[in-house]
Structure 1
Amino acid sequence: MGMIGEYLRVTPAELGRVIREPEWAWDLVEEVRNTEEETQPAPAEARHFSTYKAWDMLRFLLAYVEFPVNVIQGEEPFAEDEDWGYGPPRYLRPERVKLAAEALRATSYDQLLGDVDPAELTNAEVYPLRWGEPGALEWGRHWYDDLTQFFEAAAEAEDAVLVWLDS
């Protein structure tokens, strides 16, 4: 399956519980994922979201433009002794979610691509390593657009966001 970028919107109260009881957080993730698997809400309505394998490409491109928030790997650790697939989960507080949403909205995908050459992604060994194919950089466009919608909805609700890499 590979490495998958995962997100979960949580209220400030839920974030408090996540920090106090990290094992509860995984139960919440499973509950929300199972519920939304059936309904498949749009990113703007979803509590759970995934960038699938596009996470590393987006990480590279966002770092390239010196994005102000680490929306791909999160910023603050919790459950440091737990492994949610590829390391421990992290989170973004509501104020960081708001900043991320504003910055995502202000940065179009075309701006994000800028003058990036696909060879740069290949040289940096950006997962999933298919950057020599024609149109490879376009592959991330809908993931970026959906990520933007997800963060805008989370910011509007004043939610925090849990972030992790799953398998």
Structure 2
Amino acid sequence: MSVNGEYLRVTSAELERALKDPAWALELAEETQDAQGEREVAPAEARHFTTHQTWHLLGFLLRRFAFPVDIVHGEEVLTTDDWGYEPPRYLTRDRVRLAADIMRQTTYDQLIEGVDPAELTKAEIYPQIWDSPTSLEWARDLFTPLTEFFQGAASAGHAVLIWLD
């Protein structure tokens, strides 16, 4: 079984309802994942996005880069109930906009510059695959779509729910 980073774009009204009724929000997340899984959607248009198992590496790289928004775990607690491996958190639309603006200016090459795979092993970054310099390339193909997802959310004025499943 693997741990995956999950994201759901929500309107202001949906976020307000989710804060009052987290069970409804979980149901919305599951329904959206199921519906979107049946068709391919561009990241900028998607309501749901997953970083699969790269969430921990991306979090490590972004913290090292001093990224000002926690786009891996979220910042505000939605509920104390687990949605998989931890309770879901969220980013307000203002924090989504800030994240999208900075992500647009940030390349994956900047994030991995100077990173030694041994650092990842020492930090116990999930999953433990850091045996070569090329292992850092693993998350490259998800950083750009994640950026597009955040840009789409920011353009629509959406907040984002974030959880590990």
Matched, 1:101 2:116: no
| Cα shift at 1:133 | 3.3
| Cα shift at 1:40 | 2.2
Q: Is the 8 A contact 2:9 2:48 kept in 1?
A: yes
1:51-62 map, 5 Å: 51-62=51-62
| Cα shift at 1:78 | 1.3
Give the TM-score taking structure 1 as reference length.
Answer: 0.97
Partner of 2:85: 86
| Cα shift at 1:134 | 4.8
Partner of 1:139: 138
- List alignment gaps of at least 5 residues for structure 2: none
Counterpart residue type for residue 88 of structure 1: P
State the distance in 1 between where 2:152 and 2:70 align. Answer: 18
Indicate the RMSD between aligned Cα atoms, in angstroms: 0.8
Runs of 4 or more consecutive aligned structure 1 residues displaced over 6 Å after TM superposition: none
How many residue pairs get matched?
A: 165
- List alignment gaps of at least 5 residues for structure 1: none
1:17-166 map, 5 Å: 17-80=17-80, 82-166=81-165
Deviation readout 1:115-162 (Å, 9 max, x if unpaired): 111110011000001011351001110111111010000000010000
Q: Which moves more between the two structures, 127-136 or 61-70?
A: 127-136
Deviation readout 1:85-135 (Å, 9 max, x if unpaired): 111100000000000001111111011111111110011000001011351
Give the TM-score taking structure 2 as reference length.
Answer: 0.98
